[in-house]
Every structure is written in C-alpha cells, then in structure tokens.
Amino acid sequence: MVAKTIEDFRLNGHLAVVTGASRGLGEGCALALAGAGADLVLIGRNSVDLTAVAAKIRDLGRSAEVLAIDVTKSEPLAVALGELPPFEIFVNNAGTNQPQPFLEVDETTYDRLMDLNLRAAFFAAQAAARSMVRCARGGTIINMSSQAGHRALRDRSVYSASKFGLEGLTKAMAFELAEYNIRVNAVAPTFVETPLTKSGLEQREFRQYVEDKIRIPRLGRISDVAAAVLFLASPASSMITGTSLLVDGGWTIH
C-alpha cells in the first residue's frame, strides 16, 4: 500500500467551476484550487468582482473564465455549464442568509433563502452532474453547507432548514452518482469573517455568543474552509463520498 503524498492534493490538468465566486468563501475556494494547479470557471452575478478574482487566479499562472449568471435562473445556468469544456470539480457555493427570529419570519425572506440556498443549489448540482456524466470522466461535487445544517442556531430557522436540506441532498446525490464515479460531499463551516457575516459579527453580544460556542479560541477563516474544499476536490479524498466535513472549531461536539 502506497501512502498518500502531497501530489495527491495537486489538481494540475483539472478544470474547476465555483459558484458565488466573486468574494468571500467562493473567492477563497477558487484561489485555493488555482494554487493547487486547477484552472477555473467563476460564476456569480457581479462581473466586475468576478473579473478581479480572475485576475488573481491568472497571477497564479492558471486560466480563469468569468460567467456572470444568476444561479437562481436554473435554465441559463444549465446551458452555460453544458457548453463548458469537461470539468471534474464543481463547488456549489452560492448562498445567503438573513437572520430573523422564527416568529418574525416572513414569506419573502423564506422564499429568497430557500430559492438560493436549496432550490438553486439543487439544480446547479444537477446540471453539473449531467455534464460530468455526459463526459464520462467522473468528478467531485462539493456543496457549501454550514454547521447550521447540523445544529439549531439562534434566529436562523430558514437558513437551518435550507442547510439541513442541502445535507440530505448531498447524501442522496452521493448515493445515486457513485456509479458514475462522481463523489459528492459537503463542507459545513462555523462562523467565518466574510462580507456576508461582517455586520452580525460587529455586534458585540452576537460575537461573544459565537466565540463562546467555538471550542478552538478563534473564529473561522476563509482559508480554513478553502482547505477543506481543496481536500475534497483532490485525489487525496478519492474514497470519500456522502459525508459532511465540519469546519466548526468544535462548535457541534457539545
């Protein structure tokens, strides 16, 4: 038996597609994949921000294509993915949140979060999987979940519902796609300082709540999540499918 080596983490010759790639976790994941040798297709709504990320990737010596697409529009996204060269890595990252107490959740907020976090993620993953099956080269799909898909979090009932759903989808996809040599896993981060979480973490009481829950004495970093995605994208994880990799600093162990 040959042990895994650093070369098992290399992605030379692979094409990776990342949704929600214009900033935050999506940008971090894209840069980590490029650093390991992958070429990138960046998907998001803001072409200016995507172009800036693409420039950083090209500075790493890799190619980057920008697709300014709203992932909630499943048909245009499916067409765009179907027209790409064969890709083996799909990071299903686009998502959002709007914290509200359960008793105050309105239908507009519910629909917006579920539409992006679960419905759009479902059909984006389906389109990516169809492309992988058609090309018959196998692949890996990584759904960006959350510790909220494992534990109840204050004022996040809709977000939790969407992420629990995404966790279930990950397992169902892994079960059905294994015969095509397509692995499907999730990454479930704790609170990470990103543009999406910035306003909440600036509130002293909420930040204290978060810091008290994370056993490792710091908040999560984008690089922590990107490293988990890189592992699941690489040949080093070739026997892992249908699981959720918690990057939560120990939040969910108690």
Judged by average pLDDT, the poorest of 33-47, 111-125, 185-199, 236-250 is 185-199
| pLDDT for the residue 7 | 87
pLDDT band at 2 (very low <50, low <70, confident <90, very high): low
Annotated catalytic residue 209: no
Query: 107: burial class by Cβ within 10 Å (0-12, 13-18, 19+)?
Result: exposed
Contact 178, 139 (CB under 8 A): no
Indicate if the pLDDT at residue 210 is higher than 60: yes
State the catalytic residue, choosing from 110, 159, 180, 209: 159
Express each pLDDT in 129-157 by its tens digit. 999 999 999 999 999 999 999 999 989 99
Indicate if the pLDDT at residue 101 is higher than 70: yes
As a whole number, the mean pLDDT across the chain is: 95
Which region, left, alpha or beta, applies to residue 220 given φ > 0 means left and ψ of -120 to 50 means alpha?
beta
Q: Which residues of 19-35 are buried (b: 16+ CB within 10 A; e: fewer)?
A: bbbbbbbbbbbbbbbbe
| pLDDT for the residue 202 | 85
Which numeric CATH code is attached to 14-247? 3.40.50.720
| pLDDT for the residue 199 | 80
